[in-house]
Amino acid sequence: MTKPVDNATIKKMDRDHYLHPFSNLTEMKQVGSRIIERAEGVYLYDSDGHRTLDGFAGLWCVNLGYGRDELSAVAAEQMKQLPYYNSFFGTTNAPAAELAALLKEVTPPQFNHVFFTGSGSESNDTVVRMVRRYWQCQEQPSRKVIISRKNAYHGSTIAGASLGGMGYMHKQDEGLPMQYVEHIDQPYWFAEGGELTPEEFGLERAGQLEQKILELGEDNVAAFIAEPIQGAGGVIVPPASYWPEIQRICRQYNILLVSDEVICGFGRTGHWFGCEHFGVEPDLMSVAKGMTSGYLPMGGVIVSDKVANVLVEKGGDFNHGFTYSGHPVSAAVAVANIKALRDEGLIEEAASGSGAYFRQQLQLLAEHPVVGEVRSVGLVGAIELCADKQSRDFFPDRGATGTLCRLHALENGLVLRATEDTMLFSPPLVISHAEIDEMMTITRASLDHVAKCHG
Ligand code: PLP
């Protein structure tokens, strides 16, 4: 492919005209952007000739790795055959129908239906609309409140950002969170567990759901939404006591349980869906990202029989949908991607192959003097950087150390993400043992750098 313009011109066009998502728009005018030109397997190649190991699978999404020709071939073929048609007004297309049926095969048994969207945020907007419609159909329209958690991430639309519990997002918009959304505390033992054991703390945090339901009145509560493992919040793996108690409470008060699987879905945790790792049975699941391995935008809400039967039998019109719901090209890519994940055994790899090796190697870093805790499940993990292992005290100026570590890793050929001082790992599921070794070597060097700077 010929380059349309030289790199200096690309950087200028970008700086002059492109407002980037989740970026410091003031700083970007001075600093500019790095141009990623191509990618292969787990490696990114930029316009300055650097090769970087992508320890973050793009944005938690390139589960199948980069450069899979069969996905681009399927997209090209589908574009020629039928680039677009809508799914409104009694119409469908073959890839969307095939994808709906394939999802039934890989999801837990209570799921037989899907509503397609264009992204994770749209999926969570759809959750809000669908949950409210469900309770209307059940003649309990007072059940409107959705309970979520502080420090959760559920997207950037008004509904997504409201369900999310990111204080820094709410601070920039006085309209957030929207009406009928309530937040409880997160199960983040390392930072908030105090003197409690993880198990006691898990029960205490799950108990907040019950307290909130009682405070609001159970007849006013529609659903509880949570990521099985909070991703952007810092790969927060809840204590083992947490999810069973949440499930018990939702069942006792007849609250719908929504699992946001946008990150955890499609193999990240060594199961098809993160809820399966915790033995939880949700009523709805939001998905996106790994559904197409990020090759094209697509999302969905996976709907259990409990909800779908009501919507179908009592609901009639569901006045909700998107131009790109069931987009034929995205759906064709999703089908090819899911079949590759399945046929290449990549879910099992994340559980017991490369995933087991990743977890073992990451755990070795727990001994490092600046590391307070290592957490991991499947092929997702986190390292807590802290000043004191015993007291779990963070370094002063929280966030600065995470940035120091992240930038050092980047300069040495590894993309990691930092949430404050928590280093996050989420590599493509195709990562090899040798590539995991490379990731750990660079990470260890970055931890040494952190120790030296705090020396
Ligand atoms: N839910 C979770 C758990 C996410 O991590 C994200 C994005 O990172 C979203 C929802 C929103 O997805 P999107 O960016 O595709 O709108």
Is residue 285 within 6 Å of ligand 1 at its C-beta?
no
State the distance from the centre of ligand 1 to the C-alpha of 17, rounded, in angstroms: 25
CB atoms within 10 A of CB 406: 18
Do the bridges between strand 414-415 and strand 417-419 make them parallel or antiparallel, or are there none, so unpaired? unpaired
Is residue 155 within 6 Å of ligand 1 at its C-beta?
yes
The pLDDT score that the predictor gives to residue 455 is 84
Maximum CA pair distance of the chain? Answer: 66
The answer to the question of residue 371 being in a domain is yes
Is residue 234 within 6 Å of ligand 1 at its C-beta?
no
Structure tokens at 377: 């499940």
Atom of ligand 1 nearest to the CA of 289: 15
Is residue 56 within 6 Å of ligand 1 at its C-beta?
no
The answer to the question of residue 135 being in a domain is yes
Number of domains in the chain: 2
Is residue 294 within 6 Å of ligand 1 at its C-beta?
no
The pLDDT score that the predictor gives to residue 1 is 54
The pLDDT score that the predictor gives to residue 426 is 98
Is residue 231 within 6 Å of ligand 1 at its C-beta?
yes
Is residue 120 within 6 Å of ligand 1 at its C-beta?
yes
3-state secondary structure of 209: helix
Atom of ligand 1 nearest to the CA of 157: 16
Is residue 436 within 6 Å of ligand 1 at its C-beta?
no
Q: If you ran DSSP here, which 8-state letter would residue 298 be given? A: -
**β-strand partners of 414:** 53
State the distance from the centre of ligand 1 to the C-alpha of 451, rounded, in angstroms: 33
* 384 in the same domain as 284: no
* 108 in the same domain as 45: no
The answer to the question of residue 48 being in a domain is yes
The answer to the question of residue 229 being in a domain is yes
The domain boundary residue, chosen from 280, 311, 344: 344
**β-strand partners of 257:** 224
Is residue 111 within 6 Å of ligand 1 at its C-beta?
no
* 226 in the same domain as 125: yes
* 414 in the same domain as 359: yes
Is residue 232 within 6 Å of ligand 1 at its C-beta?
yes
The answer to the question of residue 11 being in a domain is no
* 244 in the same domain as 121: yes
User: How far apart are the C-alpha atoms of 100 and 371, rounded to whole Å?
Assistant: 43
Is residue 431 within 6 Å of ligand 1 at its C-beta?
no
Is residue 376 within 6 Å of ligand 1 at its C-beta?
no
* 340 in the same domain as 261: yes
* 123 in the same domain as 100: yes
Sheet holding 299-304, edge to edge: 111-117, 299-304, 284-287, 256-260, 221-226, 145-149, 181-184
Domain harbouring 359, CATH code: 3.90.1150.10
The answer to the question of residue 18 being in a domain is no
The domain boundary residue, chosen from 285, 309, 344: 344
Contacts of 196 (CB under 8 A, 6+ apart): 189, 204
The answer to the question of residue 21 being in a domain is no
- Residue 271 near residue 429 (C-beta atoms within 8 A): no
- Which residue of 20, 117, 127, 153 sits with most ligand 1 atoms within 8 Å of its CB, as the best mutation to test the pocket? 153
Contacts of 223 (CB under 8 A, 6+ apart): 127, 131, 146, 147, 255, 256, 257, 258, 283, 284
* 384 in the same domain as 253: no
* 106 in the same domain as 84: yes
State the distance from the centre of ligand 1 to the C-alpha of 427, rounded, in angstroms: 17
The domain boundary residue, chosen from 314, 344, 374: 344
Torsion (CA) 332, 337, 343, 347 in degrees, nearest 10: -140
Going by C-alpha positions, the residue among 113, 191, 123 that lies closest to residue 155 is: 123
Tens digit of each residue's pLDDT, the chain (455 residues)? 555 689 999 999 999 999 999 999 999 999 989 999 999 999 999 999 999 999 999 999 999 999 999 999 999 999 999 999 999 999 999 999 999 999 999 999 999 999 999 999 999 999 999 999 999 999 999 999 999 999 999 999 999 999 999 999 999 999 999 999 999 999 999 999 999 999 999 999 999 999 999 999 999 999 999 999 999 999 999 999 999 999 999 999 999 999 999 999 999 999 999 999 999 999 999 999 999 999 999 999 999 999 999 999 999 999 999 999 999 999 999 999 999 999 999 999 999 999 999 999 999 999 999 999 999 999 999 999 999 999 999 999 999 999 999 999 999 999 999 999 999 999 999 999 999 999 999 999 999 999 999 98
**β-strand partners of 148:** 183
* 429 in the same domain as 310: no
Is residue 119 within 6 Å of ligand 1 at its C-beta?
yes
Is residue 263 within 6 Å of ligand 1 at its C-beta?
yes
* 256 in the same domain as 381: no
- Which residue of 20, 121, 302 sits with most ligand 1 atoms within 8 Å of its CB, as the best mutation to test the pocket? 121
The pLDDT score that the predictor gives to residue 32 is 87
For residue 284, give its domain range: 70-344
The answer to the question of residue 246 being in a domain is yes
Structure tokens at 83: 């680039």
Domain harbouring 92, CATH code: 3.40.640.10
217 backbone φψ class: left, alpha, beta (φ>0; ψ -120 to 50): left
* 206 in the same domain as 61: no
State the distance from the centre of ligand 1 to the C-alpha of 120, rounded, in angstroms: 5
User: From residue 400, how far is each of 273, 410, 420 by CA, in Å?
Assistant: 33, 15, 7
